[in-house]
Amino acid sequence: MKNFRRYLLSPPLICLLFGLILSLTQLAASMGAQTTNRANVRAKVRELEDDKKELNDLLPLNELARLHDGASASLAGSWNGCDWGEVNISEDGGSYSGTYSATFGSGRGNFSFSKTGERTYEGAWHDSDGQHEGTFTLTASADGKSIGLNWSATDGRDLKKQSSSWTRR
| Domain identity same for 124 and 161 | yes
| Domain identity same for 41 and 94 | no
| Domain identity same for 148 and 113 | yes
CA distance 74 to 89: 10
pLDDT tens-digit readout, 60-101? 555 545 544 444 578 999 999 988 999 999 999 889 999 999
Q: Is the pLDDT of residue 140 over 70?
A: yes
| Domain identity same for 85 and 43 | no
Give the CATH number of the domain where residue 115 resides: 2.40.128.30
Q: For the whole model, what pTM was predicted? A: 0.58
Write the CA distances from 29 to 21, 39, 53, 102, 144, integer angstroms: 12, 15, 36, 73, 52
Closest CA to 100 of 70, 73, 138: 138
pLDDT tens-digit readout, 6-40? 555 566 656 655 665 766 666 666 666 666 778 87
| Domain identity same for 126 and 88 | yes
| Domain identity same for 30 and 111 | no
| Domain identity same for 104 and 140 | yes
Query: Count of domains in the chain?
Result: 2
Pairwise pLDDT comparison (50 vs 19), residue with the higher score: 50
| Domain identity same for 145 and 98 | yes
**Chain-wide mean pLDDT for the chain?**
80
Closest CA to 88 of 70, 69, 112, 104: 112
pLDDT at 159: 84
| Domain identity same for 76 and 146 | yes
| Domain identity same for 114 and 162 | yes
Do the domain assignments include residue 53? yes
Do the domain assignments include residue 64? no
pLDDT at 85: 95
Domain carrying residue 100? 70-168
What average pLDDT does this structure show over 143-147?
93
What average pLDDT does this structure show over 124-142?
94
What average pLDDT does this structure show over 131-139?
95
